[in-house]
Amino acid sequence: MLAHAHRIRRLVWMLPAVLALVAAESPSVIYTCQGPEIPLPQTCGTLRNPRIYCLMPSDVEGGLRQPNRNVRQRAADLYAWQSFIALQWPTTENGYAAASLTAPEPRRWETWKETSEVFREQGGEPVAPTPWGQHDPMPAACGGAEKLLVRDEKVDDLVEASVQPTYADGTLPGTLTDQASQKVRYEIRMNQVAFDYVVEHRLWSGRMQNDVTQVRFPDQSQIVKAAWRKVEGAAADRFITTRACVCEGGMGGRLTDCHVQTMGLVGFHVMSRAPSAPQWIWSTFEQVDNVAGAHPSFRNPLCPDCKDNRQLPAGRPNQVTRVIPIPSADPDCNNFGQAVDNVVQLNSSGKPWASRARSSRGTS
């Protein structure tokens, strides 16, 4: 990840941490869906300790104006964590936060619009999205599924980039395949602030996108990208899980081979438009077993001859390795121009709180 102070370094997931909390998400009621502060080691300055809280932070603490960029980086990392917790908070059908992180309702971000429901076409012509809160029906073969997963590539366009985890070059499918030879599935969702902007400016139409001279999403716009892999048995206990309708995409948008499968969350990207960051903030989270542990999802430690981070023919597991280590060095507080945070220490500081709860829909 970039070391720029307005960017977020890669963070490793902790388990969702929460006490038994009461939520009342109404303008006329004081929000109570928060727990105690999580004490953290200070870094080059004084920042508030984060809380387990169901609401999104309105901005990075200090508005990215701290003269010491090390403090700015820590503030941005805390913003990422608080955003992650708020987005993973279960949300009821009427949009209110549920009583706690252990509630069975869909997580906040899972109620948002998938981009396939926003950018649509019929007969080769763009079609306006359905109103907020309405979602496409589930295929008949998938009764009881919580979501539809069709995407098997991270982006819709032809991928030709060395920055992809499998060094896609356009000659092979831009898929990511785990060590069980199962393709990773993706979804991309936008919150209502971003959705309303797209609808208001008719950006769901490629013609309007071609003619527009400026796109400036309002503050609090958010887009998330989530990556899921098939999980079974006791291994599923280490993941945030969902019962998904997994399908293949056929010609003309027709879905085939639909079936219900338990899927575990392995990657979660959050793009946030904060008041102090008009260029957006990008936060990345990953499941702890992706490339480490006894049985990594995307790495075979017993295959020294496997080529790292290279695309392979369909069905062959990718060998993924971390190119940029998770930052583990303490900042030099006298060097104001750095943007350094000990992310390993930051992540581990949440572990004592993580053991207090496990979500009924899985853990990360």
Is there a domain that residue 359 lies in?
Answer: no
Is there a domain that residue 308 lies in?
Answer: yes
| 202 vs 253, higher pLDDT | 202
pLDDT at position 128, please?
95
Residue 77 has pLDDT above 70, yes or no: yes
- Domain of residue 77 covers 11-354
User: Whole-angstrom Cα distance, residue 196 to residue 221?
Assistant: 10
For the residues 8-27, what does the mean pLDDT come to? 34
Is there a domain that residue 280 lies in?
Answer: yes
Residue 359 has pLDDT above 60, yes or no: no
Least confident of 131-145, 148-162, 211-225, 346-360: 346-360
For the residues 289-294, what does the mean pLDDT come to? 91
Residue 10 has pLDDT above 80, yes or no: no
For the residues 323-338, what does the mean pLDDT come to? 93
pLDDT at position 15, please?
33
CB-CB contact of 22 with 101 (8 Å)? no
For the residues 331-348, what does the mean pLDDT come to? 93
Is there a domain that residue 119 lies in?
Answer: yes
Is there a domain that residue 233 lies in?
Answer: yes
- The CA distances from residue 292 to 278, 311, 316, in Å, are 35, 20, 20
**244-263 pLDDT tens trace:** 999 998 666 789 999 999 99
User: Whole-angstrom Cα distance, residue 283 to residue 99?
Assistant: 26
Domain count, the chain: 1
Left (φ > 0), alpha (ψ -120 to 50) or beta: where does 253 sit?
A: left
Residue 17 has pLDDT above 70, yes or no: no
Is there a domain that residue 171 lies in?
Answer: yes
User: Whole-angstrom Cα distance, residue 262 to residue 284?
Assistant: 23
Query: Tokens 């499918």 identify what position?
Result: 173
User: Whole-angstrom Cα distance, residue 142 to residue 245?
Assistant: 6
Kindly provide the b/e burial profile for residues 171-203, where b requires at least 16 CB atoms within 10 angstroms of the residue's own CB: ebbbbbbbbeebbbbbbbbbbbebbebbbebeb
Is there a domain that residue 4 lies in?
Answer: no
User: Whole-angstrom Cα distance, residue 122 to residue 89?
Assistant: 35
User: Whole-angstrom Cα distance, residue 244 to residue 260?
Assistant: 5
| Per-residue tokens: 165 | 């985890």
pTM of structure? 0.86
Confidence of residue 351 (pLDDT cuts 50, 70, 90): low
Q: What is the mean pLDDT of the chain?
A: 83
Helices and strands, number each (H, E), in the chain: 5, 12
Confidence of residue 23 (pLDDT cuts 50, 70, 90): very low
pLDDT at position 168, please?
61
Radius of gyration, CA atoms only, the chain: 21
CB-CB contact of 106 with 148 (8 Å)? no
Residue 205 has pLDDT above 50, yes or no: yes
Residue 307 has pLDDT above 70, yes or no: yes
For the residues 205-234, what does the mean pLDDT come to? 94
Cα 344 from chain centre: 19
- The CA distances from residue 151 to 104, 112, 201, in Å, are 25, 17, 26
User: Whole-angstrom Cα distance, residue 30 to residue 157?
Assistant: 45
Residue 318 has pLDDT above 70, yes or no: yes
For the residues 262-278, what does the mean pLDDT come to? 96
**147-197 pLDDT tens trace:** 999 999 876 554 444 555 666 666 777 889 999 999 999 999 999 999 999
